[in-house]
Amino acid sequence: MRAQDTPHAKPSPNPGLIALEHNVAAAVATADVVRTTLGPGGLDKLLVDQMGNRVITNDGYTVLVSLKTNHPVSRLLVEIAERQEVSVGDGTTSAIIMAAEMLKEGYRIASEEGIHPSRIIPAIDEGLTLLAEYLEGVSVAVTSINDPRIRSVLATATASKLDGVQLAGLITRSLAHLGEANRPDLRHGLSLVRRLGEDEFLDGIAIARLPVELIPPGEVGSPRACLVRDSLKFPLQGGLSGEEKGREDREREAVLAKLAGQHVNVVITNAPEIDAGLKMAFVERKILLIRVATEDLGLLSRSLAIPLIYPVQFLGRAGVPSFAARELVYDEEKGLTIFRGPDSGTVSTLVVGGATTETSKERMRTCVDGISAVHFAMKGGVVAGGGIAELNAARYLEKKMQEGGRDVAGLSILIRGLEAVSRQILDNAGYDGDEMIAKLRGRPDGEGIDIRTGDFVPMIDRGIMDPRLIKLHGIQLAAHITKTILKIDRNLVKDDGAPAAGSS
């Protein structure tokens, strides 16, 4: 290993602080890229790749994963963005801004007050427990899709996004179609397909692929489909035992017999290889074959509440999990196969359109944010939006600090990060964030600023609210990366020729 320092640099009495300073600077620089995208007054970024392709977006996650950076701390922050996006679908920019501000405060404490990071971290953990309790205590439950707050959650989540108002209305229509039945998992109950052109709501599930052979729906009959994972090449792994001669034919016939016995006439699969004889038999017997990506197959399984099966399961005695639909339709212009009114799961599909590929992608991100917000609002309730819940939580931690018996340094790191969200939203809306934060300190919990009028208003009553679980997840991720970086006292470059850890 060799230190990532200038060879002739003057030795520092505290190299740990130098490493921390550099790492914090990288984190702040990364956060600065997305700061101005936050909130309903947020601005857009123009991303251009080496081929000249352009993306205009204010989605923090999209911006961060597009960055070209080699600094390890910057990459860690991008990982935060990815975890936040995958786990809860929104709140990425807030998490990154909080992490940067927490790190700035951590560096200040370590450099100016001389407090060792190992003494700070336990207090951060204690503060996170207090925060979770506070947010749960002030949250308002949303127990029904028909709750009027659902519209407010959607409006808040999509306010700064492309065509947010229009798409929020489309999502609302889809939610009304779902009713209460699919409440535990709205993110999979509402399926999304991106296509150029107009938006469209479909009662059922749409697959963004046409069958391998376009057999007319009238010849297929009443559709019943199964989801098959992995190769359909014979002989099957773990397939029929006995004499090898003729095994492929026996397995092929067994698969076809099982499909016929279960009245399955649509096979949806991610199989990279499909037996030629099986494909011919499918055409002869009017069985549709639809090939999709592995990720899409998994999404279909979750949306329809139908388990995936491996080809070898056709050879057993058990039945084949499948779903029936009221109608099968092809949209050849959009490249869609549509199953209307499936009898499994509770699903509807939004075909998200756009004038160009890039606008359709951005509008797709708007829908993902909105659906995720509704899902987590119903799962864990809502709190005041606009960064007010975080600001009130910071004030709560300040009171706990004043009670004594707690490590002030650790809590102050969380407070600095929490205050940053509302300050940035106000800055982006054209206000003086510091001035407004000072005024908000004297207001009751839950009161914030309506950025359209400048008035102090009860945020939830005014319809400005965010899901509690999305906020909590972002705070926890920001604190996690802060603790990780505070403990780094040297940045080292690994020698590629060095033996791996644990080797002799």
100 lies in a domain?
yes
End residue of a domain, out of 308, 340, 372: 340
Per-residue pLDDT of the chain (504 residues; tens, 9 = 90+): 344 444 444 444 576 788 899 999 999 999 999 999 998 888 988 888 777 778 888 888 888 888 888 888 998 888 888 888 888 878 899 999 999 999 999 999 988 888 888 888 888 999 999 999 999 999 999 988 888 898 999 988 888 787 888 898 888 888 877 765 544 567 777 888 999 999 998 888 999 999 999 999 999 999 999 999 998 999 887 777 666 678 889 899 999 999 999 999 999 999 999 999 999 999 999 999 999 999 899 989 988 889 999 999 998 888 899 999 999 999 999 999 999 989 877 788 999 999 888 888 889 988 988 988 998 998 899 999 999 999 999 999 999 888 876 667 788 999 999 999 999 999 999 999 999 999 998 899 999 999 888 899 999 999 999 999 999 999 999 999 999 999 888 887 776 665 555 544
Query: Which pLDDT score is estimated for 6?
Result: 40
For residues 300 and 401, membership in a common domain is answered with no
Residue 3 lies in a domain: no
Per the CB < 8 A criterion, the answer to whether 269 and 290 are in contact is yes
Listed residue (271, 270, 263) closest to 322, CA to CA: 263
Same domain, 211 and 328: yes
Give me the pLDDT at residue 498, please.
56
Q: Is residue 358 part of a domain?
A: yes
Instruction: Report if residue 499 sits inside a domain.
Output: no
Candidates 30, 63, 59; CA nearest to 47 is: 63
Gap between the Cα atoms of 14 and 164, Å rounded: 50
* Domain shared by 220 and 336, yes or no: yes
Residues 85 and 122 in one domain: yes
Together in a domain, 230 and 313: yes
- What pLDDT does 184 receive? 53
Q: What is the pTM of this model?
A: 0.81
CA atoms lying within 13 Å on the CB side of residue 238: 8
Domain tally for the chain?
3
Domain termination residue (choose one: 340, 361, 395): 340
Which residues lie closer than 8 Å to 372 by C-beta, 6 or more apart? 88, 89, 90, 157, 187, 470
Q: What are phi and psi of 228, to 5 degrees?
A: -115, 130
Q: Residue 238 domain-assigned?
A: yes
User: Angle between the 15-34 and 468-486 helix axes, to the nearest 10 degrees?
Assistant: 150
The reply to whether 8 falls in a domain is no
Q: Give all strands of the β-sheet with 204-207 in edge-to-edge order.
A: 204-207, 336-340, 327-331
Tell me, yes or no, whether 216 and 102 share the same domain. Answer: no
The pLDDT value recorded for residue 24 is 94
* Burial status of residue 302 (CB atoms within 10 A of its CB: 0-12, 13-18, 19 or more): middle
CATH number at residue 222: 3.50.7.10
CATH number at residue 112: 1.10.560.10
Q: Does 330 lie in the same domain as 222?
A: yes
Distance CA 451, CA 456 (A): 9
227: left (phi over 0), alpha (psi -120 to 50) or beta: beta
What's residue 5's pLDDT? 45
Q: Determine, yes or no, domain membership for 501.
A: no
Same domain flag for 88 and 179:
no
Burial class from Cβ neighbours inside 10 Å (0-12, 13-18, 19+) for residue 435 reads exposed
Kindly state whether residues 114 and 71 are assigned to the same domain.
Answer: yes
Q: Judge contact between 427 and 43, C-beta under 8 A.
A: no
Q: Specify the long-range contacts of residues 2-8, CB closer than 8 Å, at least 24 apart.
A: 2/492, 2/493, 2/495, 3/490, 3/491, 3/492, 3/493, 4/491, 4/492, 4/493
> Which pLDDT score is estimated for 69?
82
Instruction: Please give the structure tokens belonging to residue 286.
Output: 């009017």
Instruction: Report the SS3 class of residue 497.
Output: coil
Closest CA to 331 of 200, 455, 153, 184: 200
Concatenated DSSP letters for 197-220? B--EEESEEEESS--SS---HHHH
For residues 99 and 168, state if they share a domain. Answer: no
The two beta strands, 190-194 and 348-352, are: parallel
Q: Is residue 447 part of a domain?
A: yes
Same domain membership, residue 414 and residue 310: no
Q: Across the strands, what pairs with 354?
A: 197
Closest CA to 121 of 476, 413, 421: 413
Residue 191 domain boundaries: 149-200+352-380
The residue out of 380, 400, 435 marking a domain boundary is 380
State whether 82 and 193 are in the same domain. no
What single DSSP character describes residue 184? G
